[in-house]
């Protein structure tokens, strides 16, 4: 199973703890203003960075902190003007500079224009680049089905590590490349299942992909799963926290087990829905923060499977707990005992499992048909 199937479905957007606190939401007073970072980053993670630009416009004379003013300048340098005048490429100097430059151009154009018109040109550039950069090709043309093979040869030739090919995170083709990695084995329980899996801890990243680029390095994938192992961005986690044990291990463990249970299930939304319900069924200290994050980044109409899954998970647990379509009010959630939310989420997950099993092992999607 290649990265073209895996990345779109299985990259874990593990950002708990990285978003600003609720107090960082935009607050307008008579003489001061605070950017609405949650909405800004929500647009960015939905691959619509251009939509966030108006949120950084404010009237002259308004007071703003030095940190917020610096963020505005940096974000506008990256996205407001005809060219990116930020230090992104300069800060990422490595042996793969020419390849990253192709992705950078494609990412920026696509983040400012939600159409897919940049994909054909990007794909042609990638094939032409690999044709000349991989000695085995000697300038010969590369067909689409061979791109992943030569991509891996190129990365390995530089002494680096990357995903198994060039695939998508959400709606955009992505590039994650790192210098060092270390394998270990974890045994842990996901609901009623005991799993023992290899976990690959990755360090010293050259690039963490378009989400890192879109959010100025504030947010990025925390890891992903294949049917052979879990891959973890080591710097993203305190290994003693629920962010690791629940939002990484249990979340990715659900993916790992679902590859066995539903080998044809390729829908990012469906896979992430089940993993997010797993988080909600197990989280304790981080539960309300998880719920808030899912609510803030819920969008049923998005092309990003995580956004769809956030919406469906909150929708279905809301129905189970409150009897309403979608509860947005965090105070209402905080009035409910953690154990009751855990139980409701697990019940919804069990019901989904039964539905998918009834369809059969060939099920490919369910939430959005």
Cα–Cα dist 369/365, whole Å:
7
**Residue-by-residue DSSP string for 74-127:** HHHHHHTSSS--SSHHHHT-STTHHHHHHHHHHHHHHHH--SSTTHHHHHHHHH
* Per-residue confidence band for 84, with pLDDT thresholds at 50, 70 and 90: very high
Closest by alpha carbon to 344, among 327, 360, 331, 365? 327
Which distant-in-sequence residues (6+ apart) come within 8 Å of 30 by Cβ? none
Q: Which of 53-67, 69-83, 214-228 has the lowest mean pLDDT?
A: 53-67
Residue 15: pLDDT over 80:
no
* 42 or 345, higher pLDDT: 345
Confidence of residue 60 (pLDDT cuts 50, 70, 90): confident
Q: Residue holding tokens 């990715």? A: 252
Checking if the pLDDT of 61 tops 70, the result is: yes
pLDDT at 4 over 90: no
Average confidence (pLDDT) over 116-142: 92
Q: Are strands 176-190 and 161-162 parallel, antiparallel or unpaired?
A: antiparallel
pLDDT tens digits, one per residue of 26-41: 444 457 889 999 999 9
| pLDDT tens track for 252-261 | 999 999 999 9
Name, in order, each residue with C-beta under 8 angstroms of 115's C-beta and a sequence gap of 6 or more: none
Helices (H), the chain: 3-10, 37-45, 49-52, 66-79, 88-91, 97-112, 119-133, 147-157, 210-214, 242-244, 251-261, 268-282, 287-296, 305-322, 330-334, 338-359
| 173 DSSP 8-state letter | E
Kindly list the domain boundaries of the chain, sorted by start residue: 3-16+89-239, 22-79, 262-359
Q: Report whether 287 contacts 305 (CB < 8 A).
A: no
| Structural contact between residues 161 and 179, judged by C-beta atoms closer than 8 angstroms | yes
229-244 pLDDT, tens digit per residue, is 999 999 999 999 999 9
Q: What is the mean pLDDT of the chain?
A: 90
pLDDT at 368: 87
Q: What is the pLDDT of residues 260-316, one digit of tens each?
A: 999 999 899 999 999 999 999 999 999 999 999 999 999 999 888 999 999 999 999
Chain segment 317-350, per-residue pLDDT in tens: 999 999 999 999 999 999 999 999 999 999 999 9
Determine which of 11-25, 202-216, 355-369 has the lowest per-residue pLDDT on average: 11-25
Query: Is pLDDT of 1 > 60?
Result: no
Buried b (16+ CB within 10 A) or exposed e, 345-361: bbebbeebbeebeeeee
Mean pLDDT for 198-217 is: 97
Span 163-182, pLDDT tens digits: 999 999 988 999 999 999 99
How would residue 2 be classed by pLDDT, with cut points 50, 70 and 90? Answer: very low
Indicate the pLDDT class of residue 14, thresholds 50, 70 and 90: very low
């Amino acid at each position: 199973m290649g990265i073209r199937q895996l990345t779109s479905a299985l990259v874990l957007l593990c950002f708990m703890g990285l978003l600003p606190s609720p107090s960082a939401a935009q607050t307008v007073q008579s003489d001061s203003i605070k950017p609405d970072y949650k909405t800004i980053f929500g647009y960015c993670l939905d691959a619509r960075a251009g939509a966030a630009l108006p949120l950084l416009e404010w009237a002259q004379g308004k007071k703003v902190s030095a940190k917020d003013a610096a963020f505005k300048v940096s974000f506008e340098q990256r996205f407001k003007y005809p060219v990116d005048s930020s230090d992104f490429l300069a800060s990422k100097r490595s042996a793969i500079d020419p390849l990253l430059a192709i992705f950078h151009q494609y990412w920026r154009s696509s983040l400012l224009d939600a159409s897919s018109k940049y994909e054909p040109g990007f794909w042609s550039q990638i094939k032409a680049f690999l044709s000349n950069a991989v000695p085995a090709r000697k300038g010969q043309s590369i067909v689409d089905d061979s791109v992943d093979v030569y991509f891996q040869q190129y990365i390995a030739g530089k002494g680096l590590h990357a995903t198994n090919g060039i695939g998508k995170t959400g709606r955009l083709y992505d590039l994650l490349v790192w210098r060092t990695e270390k394998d270990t084995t974890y045994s842990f329980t996901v609901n009623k299942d005991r799993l023992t899996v290899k976990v690959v801890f990755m360090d010293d990243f050259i690039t963490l992909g378009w989400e890192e680029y879109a959010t100025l390095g504030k947010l990025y994938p925390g890891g992903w799963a294949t049917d052979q192992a879990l891959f973890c961005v080591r710097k993203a986690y305190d290994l003693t926290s629920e962010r690791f044990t629940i939002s990484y291990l249990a979340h990715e463990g659900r993916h790992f087990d679902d590859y066995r249970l539903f080998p044809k299930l390729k829908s990012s939304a469906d896979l992430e829905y089940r993993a997010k319900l797993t988080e909600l069924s197990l989280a304790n200290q981080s539960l309300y923060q998880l719920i808030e994050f899912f609510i803030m980044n819920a969008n049923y109409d998005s092309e990003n499977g995580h956004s769809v899954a956030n919406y469906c998970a909150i929708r279905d647990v809301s129905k189970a707990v409150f009897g309403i379509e979608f509860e947005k009010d965090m105070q209402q959630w905080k009035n409910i005992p953690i154990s009751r939310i855990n139980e409701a989420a697990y019940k919804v997950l069990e019901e989904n499992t039964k539905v998918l099993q009834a369809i059969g092992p060939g099920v490919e999607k369910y939430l959005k048909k």
